[in-house]
């Protein structure tokens, strides 16, 4: 007999099995399918609406923009909140707050010792920035030879690799700290980011009546010794989107202070002459509970 009500069909979809499969995947899939069946029935979603949505999902994947939608719909921040709640439940001491990786990380950036010109090839673009500080453990002791992987957008708000007009690894570098955990780099204060217009992402955001802007920020993936690798961002104060980030990723502890320096001879090796903006920021890493927590891997590398 193959005549079903919607609920009979749902039960059949979720019960069909010729081998054990994976219990967790089965349970989560069953929930998601049930929620979608209910949504379609409750909102009387038409076939045209349903197939438009499936076409949109296909275009989203083809444009490699899944990571923009997850950020914009709050999933990336949700996962951070839940990780922090898990830390608190286990009474794990927290270090520098984590902030979402976002979809624009690229592994394998050039590695330098202690300092680097992140803005190599971008001379004269924006306000000169020197950011410096140390990588520390929760005990306040430096983490020697930690690695600070740093990336930010160009003066037009676009990220290298995803923007083919930029050189490979433009504005992406890794810095190995010295024995006292010190790092420093020269760059420029980046602007904010906006989702690409005329894209599957902007289509949905237009229909939701939402903007797709992020305030100015710089990304970091910091790791070292037996510490837990940290993915975070710092925000530049004064940005109009600081409290209105489309990815909901800004955090109080991550808004840095800008210090205007008229002149200094301390940064000659970075080619700094004249006035510039200085940011001092120390990264505090949690202790790791296992080896896998120490690995500086992007979310896509880690995902099965
Ligand atoms: C970005 O630059 C970003 O950091 C995130 C999280 C999402 C989109 C663009
Ligand atoms: Fe970003």
Q: Which atom of ligand 1 is nearest to the CA of 233?
A: 4
- Name the residue among 140, 258, 255, 135 with its Cα closest to residue 188: 258
| pLDDT tens sequence across 153-172 | 999 999 999 999 999 999 99
pLDDT value of position 1:
67
- Name the residue among 153, 190, 177, 186 with its Cα closest to residue 283: 177
- Name the residue among 239, 236, 241, 240 with its Cα closest to residue 255: 236
The residues spanned by each domain of the chain are 6-65, 69-302
Q: How far apart are CA 76 and CA 54, in angstroms?
A: 22
Q: Which residues of 245-260 are buried (b: 16+ CB within 10 A; e: fewer)?
A: bbbbbbbeebbbeeee
Helix (H, G, I), strand (E, B) or coil at 242: coil
Task: State whether the Cα torsion 186-187-188-192 is positive or negative.
Answer: negative
Q: How far apart are CA 39 and CA 208, in angstroms?
A: 17
Q: Of 105, 159, 183, 267, which one is the catalytic site residue?
A: 159
Give the global pTM: 0.95
* For residues 97-122, average pLDDT: 97
Location of structure tokens 């680097």 = 116
* For residues 199-215, average pLDDT: 98
193 among known catalytic residues: yes
* For residues 3-7, average pLDDT: 96
Which of 193, 210, 299, 300 should be mutated for ligand 1, with most atoms under 8 A from CB? 193
CA-CA distances (angstroms) from residue 75 to 57, 69, 298? 17, 9, 16
Q: What does the block give as tokens for 80?
A: 């951070």
* Share of residues in the chain with pLDDT > 70 (%): 99
Q: Which residues contact 262 (CB under 8 A, 6 or more apart)?
A: 275
CA of 50 to the centre of ligand 2 (A): 32
pLDDT value of position 175:
98
Helix (H, G, I), strand (E, B) or coil at 204: helix
152 among known catalytic residues: no
Q: How far apart are CA 52 and CA 58, in angstroms?
A: 10
- Residue 68 Cβ inside 6 Å of ligand 1? The answer reads yes
**CATH code at 69-302:** 2.60.130.10
Rg of the chain over Cα atoms, rounded to whole angstroms, equals 23
Q: How far apart are CA 275 and CA 273, in angstroms?
A: 7
pLDDT value of position 298:
84
pLDDT value of position 304:
66
Which of 71, 72, 191, 219 should be mutated for ligand 1, with most atoms under 8 A from CB? 71
Residue nearest to atom 3 of ligand 1 (CA): 102
- How would you classify the pairing of strands 128-137 and 283-285? parallel
CB under 5 Å of ion ligand 2: residues: 102
Task: State whether the Cα torsion 185-297-63-43 is positive or negative.
Answer: negative
- Residue 136 Cβ inside 6 Å of ligand 1? The answer reads no
pLDDT value of position 181:
98
* For residues 236-244, average pLDDT: 95
């Amino acid at each position: 007999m193959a005549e079903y009500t919607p609920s009979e069909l749902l039960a059949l979809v979720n019960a069909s099995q010729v081998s054990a499969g994976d219990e967790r995947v089965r349970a989560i899939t069953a929930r998601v399918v049930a929620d979608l069946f209910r949504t379609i029935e409750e909102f009387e979603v038409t076939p045209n609406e349903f197939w438009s949505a499936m076409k949109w999902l296909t275009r989203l994947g083809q444009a490699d923009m899944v990571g923009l939608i997850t950020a914009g719909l709050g999933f990336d921040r949700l996962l951070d909140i839940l990780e922090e709640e898990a830390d608190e439940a286990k009474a794990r001491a927290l270090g520098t707050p984590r902030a979402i990786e976002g979809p624009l990380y690229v592994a394998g950036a050039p590695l330098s010792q202690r300092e680097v010109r992140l803005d190599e090839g971008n001379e004269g673009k924006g306000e000169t920035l020197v950011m410096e500080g140390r990588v520390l453990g929760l005990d306040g002791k430096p983490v020697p030879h930690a690695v600070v992987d740093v990336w930010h957008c160009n003066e037009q708000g676009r990220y290298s690799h995803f923007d083919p007009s930029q050189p490979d690894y433009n504005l992406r570098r890794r810095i190995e700290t010295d024995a006292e955990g010190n790092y420093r780099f020269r760059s420029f204060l980046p602007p904010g980011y906006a989702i690409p217009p005329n894209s599957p992402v902007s289509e949905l955001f237009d229909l939701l009546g939402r903007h797709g802007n992020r305030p100015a920020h710089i990304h970091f993936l910091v790791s070292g010794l037996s510490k837990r690798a940290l993915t975070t961002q710092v925000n530049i104060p004064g940005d109009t989107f600081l409290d209105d980030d489309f990815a909901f990723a800004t955090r109080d502890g991550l808004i840095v202070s800008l210090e205007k320096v008229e002149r200094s001879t301390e940064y000659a090796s970075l080619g700094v002459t004249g006035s510039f903006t200085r940011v001092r920021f120390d990264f505090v890493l949690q202790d790791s509970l296992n080896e896998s927590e120490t690995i500086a891997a992007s979310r896509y590398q880690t995902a099965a």
